[in-house]
Amino acid sequence: MSLLLKASNGHLFLSSSIASMATCSSFCAQLPIHFRPIPIASSFPTNQPFKPFSAQASISPANDGGSPNTIGFLGLGIMGSPMAQNLIKSGCDVTVWNRTKSKCDPLISLGAKYKPSPEEVTAACDVTFAMLADPECAVEVACGKHGAASGMGPGKGYVDVSTVDGGTSKLICGHIKASGASFLEAPVSGSKKPAEDGQLIFLTAGDKSLYETVAPFLDIMGKSRFYLGEVGNGAAMKLIVNMIMGSMMATFSEGLLLSEKVGLDPNVLVEVVSEGAISAPMYSLKGPSMVKSLYPTAFPLKHQQKDMRLALGLAESVSQPTPIAAAANELYKVAKSHGLSDSDFSAVIEALKGKVQS
Ligand SMILES: NC(=O)C1=CN([C@@H]2O[C@H](COP(=O)(O)OP(=O)(O)OC[C@H]3O[C@@H](n4cnc5c(N)ncnc54)[C@H](OP(=O)(O)O)[C@@H]3O)[C@@H](O)[C@H]2O)C=CC1
Ligand SMILES: O=CC(=O)O
């Protein structure tokens, strides 16, 4: 893939070596703000002369070459805020919207533009990302009154990075494509910290050309990306990953409580687990706070339960037994019923404690 880099004097230069490095997010994180990767979009003038880069030139991210290069971002929660922030810090021209407007303010301070509806964001931008809580609000924001689809049209792209089921993703895709625009589903694996660090894993499916166009932006926000074919495949992959994660967290919780009941130090259990074949970063990261009954929210428990529910629906649709995930889902439901929806999903351990069960 090739990228165009641009100096403030309007000079464009093509760098395939920088382009190949730019596919690595660790490189992008080091990209000086004045070097902005510009994906070569189909609308970019192909006869644009490439002028040599001048090291003396003062460089600005402004794009005055007539090529659209504006990014919209809808949904500025735990994930959306740092993702949008990374785009802004990399020099992208970002316009934001969030249902609760105050969450836009820190991004506006960093240089983002603001529009008061999803429709106005997509009307103003070439590509719009959406990071929304659940299927219901992803549909509302994309297809509702003054929703994203109303501002879309030919040449534009919509990238839904929310975790939803395949049916929802196809519904949104249908509305977006009816406007003549392109659609990509791109749910992410990785939580608050990976979002802050630009280390997410994108699980994409849909229009391949849009995937290629937005790849440099995915590489700013993430460390790897998978293209999985038809819309629904990205959603399915994400739900399966989170089904495994939810079951792992539930059984880890049982282990912590059992170790304590038989007189072992659960902190030592965390250490032992981290040394062996079942080691996972999640256990070392969350175990020590779980032992202290602390659940600082990175991934809200209500979202993990939503993902278990959607994964079980996916399994049912193909008659695949998933008894472990079904049992784990019940635990998340109990935790929700005890007011833990907005705590981190590691609070599922509370559902196994006598005081919560009674
Ligand atoms: N947190 C994590 O670790 C990860 C989360 N995910 C997935 O990413 C998505 C977002 O997660 P996260 O950022 O944690 O969630 P948050 O709950 O922090 O943010 C949810 C976002 O959705 C918006 N929203 C909710 N309901 C509506 C509605 N009815 N209309 C319009 N907007 C609405 C919220 O707006 P408002 O601010 O107004 O409430 C907010 O912008 C979810 O699908 C989640 O499963 C994926 C990977 C990791
Ligand atoms: O969806 C949550 C995650 O950590 O990934």
The whole-angstrom separation of Cα 35 and Cα 54 is: 13
Q: What letter does residue 52 receive in the DSSP assignment? A: P
**pLDDT, tens only, 190-240:** 999 999 999 999 999 999 999 999 999 999 999 999 999 999 999 999 999
Ligand 2 pocket test target in 224, 245, 285, 344 with most atoms within 8 Å of CB? 245
**What class is the 68-230 domain?**
alpha beta
Query: Rounded to the nearest whole angstrom, what is the distance from the C-alpha of residue 268 to the centroid of ligand 1?
Result: 35
**pLDDT, tens only, 77-105:** 999 999 999 999 999 999 999 999 999 99
Of the residues 6, 115, 238, 302, only one is catalytic, namely: 238
Please name the residue whose Cα sits nearest to atom 27 of ligand 1: 137
Ligand 1 pocket test target in 81, 303, 344 with most atoms within 8 Å of CB? 303
Ligand 1 pocket test target in 76, 103, 137 with most atoms within 8 Å of CB? 137
Q: Could you say which of 3.30.1360.10, 1.10.1040.10, 1.20.1740.10, 1.20.1250.10 is the CATH number of the domain covering 236-357?
A: 1.10.1040.10
C-beta of 162 in contact with ligand 1 (< 6 A): yes
Question: Where residue 153 falls among pLDDT bands split at 50, 70, 90?
Answer: very high
Give yes or no for residue 159 having a pLDDT over 70.
yes
The C-alpha angle 237, 239, 245, rounded to 5 degrees, equals 105
pLDDT at 355: 62
Q: What tokens appear for 294 in the block?
A: 């602390």
**pLDDT, tens only, 269-291:** 999 999 999 999 999 999 999 99
Q: Is 51 helix (H, G, I), strand (E, B) or coil?
A: coil
**pLDDT, tens only, 5-58:** 333 333 333 333 333 333 322 223 323 332 333 332 222 222 232 222 222 222
More confident residue, 244 or 56: 244
- Would you list the domain boundaries of the chain? 68-230, 236-357
**pLDDT, tens only, 117-126:** 999 999 999 9
Spatial CB neighbours of 78, under 8 Å, sequence gap ≥ 6: 192, 195, 297, 298, 299, 300
Phi and psi torsions of 131, nearest 5°: -125, 90
Residues with CB under 6 A from ligand 2: 163, 189-191, 242, 299
C-beta of 76 in contact with ligand 1 (< 6 A): yes
Spatial CB neighbours of 324, under 8 Å, sequence gap ≥ 6: 247
Query: Rounded to the nearest whole angstrom, what is the distance from the C-alpha of residue 75 to the centroid of ligand 2?
Result: 16
Query: Rounded to the nearest whole angstrom, what is the distance from the C-alpha of residue 67 to the centroid of ligand 1?
Result: 31
Question: Where residue 306 falls among pLDDT bands split at 50, 70, 90?
Answer: very high
C-beta of 188 in contact with ligand 1 (< 6 A): yes
Tell which atom from ligand 2 comes closest to the C-alpha of 163: 1
To the query of whether residue 177 is one of the catalytic residues in this protein, the response is: no
C-beta of 246 in contact with ligand 1 (< 6 A): no
Ligand nearest to the CA of 96: 1
C-beta of 79 in contact with ligand 1 (< 6 A): yes
Average pLDDT, stretch 155-170? 98
Q: Is 331 helix (H, G, I), strand (E, B) or coil?
A: helix
Tell which atom from ligand 2 comes closest to the C-alpha of 241: 5
C-beta of 95 in contact with ligand 1 (< 6 A): no
Q: What's the one-letter identity of residue 76?
A: L
Spatial CB neighbours of 35, under 8 Å, sequence gap ≥ 6: 5, 18, 59, 91
Query: Rounded to the nearest whole angstrom, what is the distance from the C-alpha of residue 248 to the centroid of ligand 2?
Result: 13
Query: Rounded to the nearest whole angstrom, what is the distance from the C-alpha of residue 203 to the centroid of ligand 2?
Result: 12
Query: Rounded to the nearest whole angstrom, what is the distance from the C-alpha of residue 192 to the centroid of ligand 2?
Result: 8
Query: Rounded to the nearest whole angstrom, what is the distance from the C-alpha of residue 297 to the centroid of ligand 1?
Result: 13
